[in-house]
Structure 1
Amino acid sequence: MGFHNVWDGIAFREARGLKWVAAWILQLPFLIGATWAENAAASVAAPELTAGQSSSAIRVDGVLDEPAWAAAGVIGDLTQQEPHPGEPTPFGTQVRILVDGDTLYLGITCHDPDPSRIAAHTMQRDGDFSGDDTVAFVLDPFGDRRNGYYFRVNSFGGRVDGLISQASDISLDWDGIWDARARRTADGWVAEISVPARSLRFAPGLQTWGFNVERVVARDRVTLRWSGTTHDSSLNDLRRAGKLDGVGDLKQGVGLSVSPYGLTRYRRDLEASDSLFRGDAGLDVTYNLTPELEAVATVNTDFAETEVDTRQINLTRFPLFFPEKRAFFLEGSNLFEFGLDLSSDYIPFFSRTVGLFHGRQVPIDAEVKVLGRAGRWGIAALDVITGSTPAAPQTNLFAGRLTYDAGSHLRLGALGTRGSPDSVSDNTLGGVDAVWKTSTFHGDKNLAFAAWGARSSGDVQGDHRDGWGASASYPNDRWDLSLSLNQYGDALDPALGFLPRPGTRFYRGGLAFQPRPGDAGPFHWVRQFFFEVFPMRVDDLNGNTESWRFRVAPLNIESRSGEHFEANVAPQFERLTAPFEVFPGIVIPVGEYRFTRYLIEMESSNHFPLRAGNLVWFGDFFDGRLSQWESFVNYSTPGGHMQLELSTENDYGHLAQGKFVERLFVFKTVYAFNPLVLLSVFTQYDNECPEDIPGFTKCRDLGLNSRLRWTFRPGNDLFVVWDRNWSGFGDPGDTVALGPKTDAFVVKLRWTFRR
């Protein structure tokens, strides 16, 4: 029996519409209650610590020499979580915690028997710390074991922060105002951290917060943690956190933050010999309506300091997904998350649709956001007034999200959007969802179920305005299982969202067996094997198969020192109902295509200064062959001041309709004068012809984005940005030279006042 016939036998095929999803949502708690066997005896009591009280100032400099530290609450050591839970290590770690009324302080001392081998590669804020020695902690200031904050610091003082939602989902898009310093010592390193209460939303008067802390020793790939030390645990899983007492007197103050900005912008169109020079100003105001709920208003919003998109090559017939990078929209974006693990298949509200239309910026005159919690309720609302442009008149856009924590495991939610980026169409979308998650299934295992439904109204084309879906997952260390079914109507039109394949029904599955060999035997050098199977099928709404793929990873290895090797085989099927132009001038005709592709991937350990990797997809492709080569080389200088990152993609297609080569080169340089002064230079080159300039088959494009950021005090920043673009267009046989296209220079100063 072939893969196609196997898929035809899936029983999920008869599931129908929103009524089915509504029934699933209503029965979800009862279904789980009937099948869930929780082994309470296997549960481990959460550790508890009382923070010390400080009446004197703490200077954050990486030296724990203030007398107040003597009164701190102390965690005497951490427990190994990875690779051998519970076993002793030579990496002694002491964690000290203080509060002084409006600030939470941590002092973390990391002993190391060989300090010369401490790994750190960057001072950059929100840099890649995956190969660095770090300390990290999470806070659950609501006491609900669902929502919280994440902080990580490396031994150079580089910082990463994020928000946690749905108990364990983490978003690193948040940039809070907090401070950290790190210092190397003769026997290790020390991190000193301060988190102002004004930077957090929390339940007022709550005496006990959820808290956890971990340390990573990169060279041995060892993780030490205070609470949650099994392989199935993660730091950001707030259900496994310990308890931090003595924080009930923390005060947020008035809860008012005012951030004015001023900028000067110079822009030249080098093709039209036109230029523009102007100044501008704007204002952001944040006010805490309650200690858990904040309102944010902006006037004349500007995103000049936002990093440009990383370019992608598109060899599919569907639109690519580019993540949001604008700071205003990133803050609180986790509160708008809908369903569970829908990824970029369906995002009912995607903030990138606001202020952008057909890839071009639309001015934003004013915005208001409300974000936070009110008891068991989670609240997120965004209202935007966009400016008028030749392409679209002024319009009002709205998105709102409401969730309710019904018990310790179940979250119910609703989401709605209104408006369209084109400023003309009438578009409204509403949806409901339910997510049930636990980390104590059969003692300490993770298990999750989810269901959702949505409907569009207004100026939408098609017969089926509904969408719905359900999923189940068992994401654990030894076994990782998942199953989902999602249907997207042909008239399900999230104008403020992202849906690349409307009019389809997606079936997805995943099965991974991930054993860990022992320290003895022929595989002692392997940290973990991953034997994986990922089937996927896409039907149209009449049950006709559009695509399927059955990806198998018979070999996927992670070594003890961090190297990675993987081999995949992926038989697949595509049915084209319309011609597909895969490259300018090369059109694949209507028809059914079965082909098999293969993957080989290798990557070095990331704790070395020089890191490299290579990924190759090869094999058949529709009626021909395609080889895709992706490579990267990263280098960090000693001291962590400079990072050099080069990545390339070269695609070689040989089809019945012709040959083509697609190229993409990305080179990024980051120089950190110190953790507060960063210069980044982002250079990208590709030969893909843009859709807004049709008629050419040979193109070249080069872009340069340089940005200097000086954070002279947390919340106060100076940005200097320079953008320049070159391009060239022609036909086969032409010599295409790069010519200057646009040039832009911006200086922006932002200042924050807090009370």
Structure 2
Amino acid sequence: MNKFFSTALVMGLGGSAWAADPEPAAASMRALRQAGQAALQIDGRLDEPLWRAAPVYERFVQFLPEDRQPARWRTTVQVIADEHALTFAIRAYDPEPGRIRAPLSRRDEVGLEQDYVSVVIDPVGRRRAAQFVRVGASGSLADGVFIADDDSDDLAPDFDVQAAVQSLPDGYSVELRWPLAALRFPHSGGEPWRVMLTRSVPREDANLMVSPPTLTKDALNFIAELQALEGLGDLVEQVRERSFLSIRPELTWRRAEGSGKATLGAELKWRPRADWVIDATLNPDFSQIESDAPQMAANTRFALFQQEKRPFFLESTDVVGQSQPDESGQAHGLAAFYSRTISDPDWGLRATWRGASADAVGLSLRDAGGGDVLRPAAYATAAHAYRGHSQASFVRGRQQLGNASLGLLASERGYGGGAFNRVVGSDFSWRTGESDLLRGHWLQSASTAAFDGEGRAVRSASESGHKLWLAWQHRSAEWINQLHLEEITPRFANDNGFVPQAGIRRASSELARRLGASEMAGLPLFELEAQLKLAQTEALADGAQQRGGEVIERLLEPGFWFATARNTGVWGHLGLGQQRARSGGALHAPRTVNIGLESNPAPWLSLLHAELQWGRRLDVEADRLGSGMNLVMQAKFRFALPQSWWLELEQQLGQGWVNNPAGQRSLSERNSQTLAVVHFDARDSLRLISQRSHAGRRAEGVLAALDEQGGSDSLVLQRRVGHGRILSVGASQARESAREPWQRQLFAKLVWAWSN
């Protein structure tokens, strides 16, 4: 799937305005500077006298479905800057207001299937990262950070913003107040602040419109053309010394197995001045974080990446270089720190610094939760169940050098008694031109930690290894190409990071020839690509455990991708490669057809995603080919209910199997997740999550029978006031297999944030 389109499809940073001239002259946006705090009531009405004096910007252009086109709907934006906040007024005109899609949604569930506007801000001004907030036509919010090098958006961070929407006979209006305390900018120096406004109008063609007149799909990333925000005057100089403090105490009561227990925790965020942010957490309770999306795992021996959602880990994710998953659940990029390796911290401390041309982050946590410690190899990843405490520490700094950046990092996981894992390394990024990006990193590890059968860490002889990674990305009007080279030696380990495979050398590339817009059987094709995926992974020698030079996988996948109406992307590939399940085993040649679709079909069916792999598949455990399939589906529904309530219903299903040579089902797996949220209003909701999984295998020869079933359910009634005042009451149950009893509990949690 085209990465740039898929990023916009998931992210949907909305904004638009009508422009009679398709080539607007204004390339910057101007704010009205106010001395003192502006007398604005955030109600979405835009009726205060200040808005009549603020400059109006309305030269938006279309970005999706086709760029370089005039905007089809008029949108205006105004900005007022005072010593406390930036306040945006956005007027979204619509001649058919009855078609505006404005469902109530959970935070971060505002996407291209809805009408909304979005504000993107880069207060550092270098267009390497940007904070964004999307405001749906119902007032629902989504926010996060966009990272230029990955061309990806991270929806996990939440910002303390205030927004209101007013429905109008000719559209809707939005007021968004973004406190300066929620922005991250240097203490001195730096470039002018940059901004972009976008708007989504999800009709038949699912339009996305943007304020920068020069942004096109040929850019290396979505924030490549942010506009300068003028008119701030000396605002930055006035507020750079100001201190901001936020404290979020939380009280949790839980009753399980006949006894109740109350715990008290807290999170603190202190910005002593503009360039520093200090985060601390003490005894946090993460139990009410939503369940992870199920993944198909029965036919792989490698760890699968899960997205981070816990609040403490979400500050400065762009500086940390935290891994981001791709569509298969694997992580790419730096991957030096993966916060999901930390399960239950007693306490944690983090410091982040941002300068005009450099930034740095350091953190340390005491993890009391134990959990699986992963040690990768070429054909499988071993998981050691650890039951003790550990100390996780990580530090990284980056220096910007024109179009390049250079970083240094160090990481340590200490288990006590001289058992540890340490990693040091360096990374770089270099934009060699408007169309090309080079990235790479070197990591060196040393480990003395081993684990016995009782879940204890013991000191062993020191082992070392390295990880080298180099990537090239090219994007132009004709081509979208990527090349990755990677070497991970057999003894490399990073207990604070994500490393699913070691002892390998890999080369991979993705080539996409852009064929432009066309039409097929009356169906408009806004974009069409011919694609080719190539890869080869070879094993590195590891004594008697594995042979060097052995091909583990060859990937050869010709295919296509196109985008059409209703935000629909369709792709297909032929799997013509080879795979080996174990060292010394046969090199198999599976043959599969892989097809997929992602679409926003209707207001009530806001997302439909399906991927199917069908043909001759490799059964990894049995080390043989067999007919089979793998199907993953996701659907999101939105329904209006009586009393102005809204229902969010999401269903995810996974089904896969491989047959033996006799045509019998040898391996099967299925999982499902149902998520239902009733929104009574913008504050109150009732959420149900139910998840089930099953993995089964037929007993054949040395292959033992397998029948594993797990599940979890939770029901939560929640009241949310603003950003940091939350009351949750609910019940949950879970079990990992059918042989174990259900573990049930009742709980209540109160979070009451205070800030200056």
2:500 aligned partner: 500
1:249 aligned partner: 235
DSSP 3-state at the match of 1:419: strand
1:637 aligned partner: 639
Q: Structure 1 length as normaliser, TM-score?
A: 0.83
Q: Please, which of 420, 442, 457 is the counterpart of residue 426 of structure 1? A: 420
In structure 2, relative to structure 1, the CA distance for the partners of 1:753 and 1:353 (3 Å cut) is same
In structure 2, relative to structure 1, the CA distance for the partners of 1:160 and 1:744 (3 Å cut) is same
Task: Give how far 1:728 is off.
Answer: 5.4
CA distance in structure 2 between the aligned counterparts of 1:87 and 1:64, rounded to whole angstroms: 29
CA distance in structure 2 between the aligned counterparts of 1:46 and 1:128, rounded to whole angstroms: 28
CA distance in structure 2 between the aligned counterparts of 1:340 and 1:434, rounded to whole angstroms: 17
Instruction: String of CA shifts for 1:62-116, please: whole Å, max 9, x gaps.
Output: 2111222222232134222334445434411110111232011111001112111
In structure 2, relative to structure 1, the CA distance for the partners of 1:446 and 1:419 (3 Å cut) is same
2:543 aligned partner: none
Is 1:129 equivalent to 2:111 in the alignment?
Answer: yes
2:207 aligned partner: 222
Please, which moves more after superposition, 157-166 or 500-509? 157-166
Task: Give how far 1:229 is off.
Answer: 3.1
Contact 1:339 1:434 in 2 (8 A): no
Instruction: For 2:206, give the aligned amino acid.
Output: R
In structure 2, relative to structure 1, the CA distance for the partners of 1:247 and 1:602 (3 Å cut) is same
In structure 2, relative to structure 1, the CA distance for the partners of 1:476 and 1:341 (3 Å cut) is farther
Q: Counterparts of 1:439-588 in structure 2 under 5 Å?
A: 441=433, 445-459=434-448, 465-476=465-476, 478-518=478-518, 525-541=524-540, 542-553=548-559, 555-577=560-582
1:237 aligned partner: 223
Instruction: String of CA shifts for 1:151-203, please: whole Å, max 9, x gaps.
Output: 11111111111123446543221111111112221111111111111112223
In structure 2, relative to structure 1, the CA distance for the partners of 1:682 and 1:695 (3 Å cut) is farther
DSSP 3-state at the match of 2:56: strand
In structure 2, relative to structure 1, the CA distance for the partners of 1:714 and 1:634 (3 Å cut) is closer
Is 1:684 equivalent to 2:683 in the alignment?
Answer: no
In structure 2, relative to structure 1, the CA distance for the partners of 1:644 and 1:750 (3 Å cut) is same
1:650 aligned partner: 655
For the aligned residue pairs, the C-alpha RMSD in angstroms reads 3.0
Instruction: String of CA shifts for 1:274-312, please: whole Å, max 9, x gaps.
Output: x33111112222222431111112222221221122222
Task: Give how far 1:126 is off.
Answer: 0.6
Contact 2:649 2:675 in 1 (8 A): yes
Q: Please, which of 359, 380, 383 is the counterpart of residue 364 of structure 2? A: 383
Q: Percent identity?
A: 21
1:592 aligned partner: 587
Instruction: For 1:298, give the aligned amino acid.
Output: T
CA distance in structure 2 between the aligned counterparts of 1:432 and 1:726, rounded to whole angstroms: 42
Contact 1:82 1:231 in 2 (8 A): no
In structure 2, relative to structure 1, the CA distance for the partners of 1:711 and 1:328 (3 Å cut) is same
Task: Give how far 1:481 is off.
Answer: 0.4
DSSP 3-state at the match of 2:235: coil
Structure 2 spans left out of the alignment, 5+ residues: 1-22, 371-384, 450-460, 541-547, 619-624, 698-702
In structure 2, relative to structure 1, the CA distance for the partners of 1:720 and 1:424 (3 Å cut) is farther
Please, which moves more after superposition, 209-218 or 54-63? 54-63
Instruction: For 2:250, give the aligned amino acid.
Output: Y
Instruction: For 2:723, give the aligned amino acid.
Output: P
DSSP 3-state at the match of 1:516: coil
1:412 aligned partner: 406
In structure 2, relative to structure 1, the CA distance for the partners of 1:727 and 1:208 (3 Å cut) is closer
Contact 2:418 2:448 in 1 (8 A): no
DSSP 3-state at the match of 2:181: helix
1:258 aligned partner: 247
CA distance in structure 2 between the aligned counterparts of 1:666 and 1:726, rounded to whole angstroms: 15
In structure 2, relative to structure 1, the CA distance for the partners of 1:279 and 1:604 (3 Å cut) is same
Q: Please, which of 718, 725, 739 is the counterpart of residue 716 of structure 1? A: 725
DSSP 3-state at the match of 1:69: helix
In structure 2, relative to structure 1, the CA distance for the partners of 1:421 and 1:635 (3 Å cut) is farther
Structure 1 spans left out of the alignment, 5+ residues: 1-41, 269-274, 357-361, 580-589, 731-738
Q: Counterparts of 1:316-327 in structure 2 under 5 Å?
A: 316-327=300-311
In structure 2, relative to structure 1, the CA distance for the partners of 1:534 and 1:51 (3 Å cut) is farther
Please, which moves more after superposition, 149-158 or 385-394? 385-394
Please, which moves more after superposition, 91-100 or 305-314? 305-314
1:109 aligned partner: 91
Instruction: For 2:57, give the aligned amino acid.
Output: I
Instruction: For 2:230, give the aligned amino acid.
Output: L
DSSP 3-state at the match of 2:517: coil
Q: Please, which of 156, 170, 174 is the counterpart of residue 173 of structure 1? A: 156
Aligned length: 672
Q: Please, which of 612, 617, 622 is the counterpart of residue 613 of structure 2? A: 617
Is 1:396 equivalent to 2:398 in the alignment?
Answer: no
CA distance in structure 2 between the aligned counterparts of 1:150 and 1:603, rounded to whole angstroms: 24
With CA pairs under 8 Å and 6+ residues apart, which has the higher RCO, 1 or 2?
1
Q: Structure 2 length as normaliser, TM-score?
A: 0.82
CA distance in structure 2 between the aligned counterparts of 1:644 and 1:198, rounded to whole angstroms: 35
CA distance in structure 2 between the aligned counterparts of 1:100 and 1:282, rounded to whole angstroms: 35
CA distance in structure 1 between the aligned counterparts of 2:712 and 2:669, rounded to whole angstroms: 17
DSSP 3-state at the match of 1:335: helix
Task: Give how far 1:477 is off.
Answer: 5.6
Q: Please, which of 176, 179, 186 is the counterpart of residue 203 of structure 1? A: 186
Task: Give how far 1:718 is off.
Answer: 1.7
Task: Give how far 1:234 is off.
Answer: 8.3
Contact 1:140 1:209 in 2 (8 A): yes
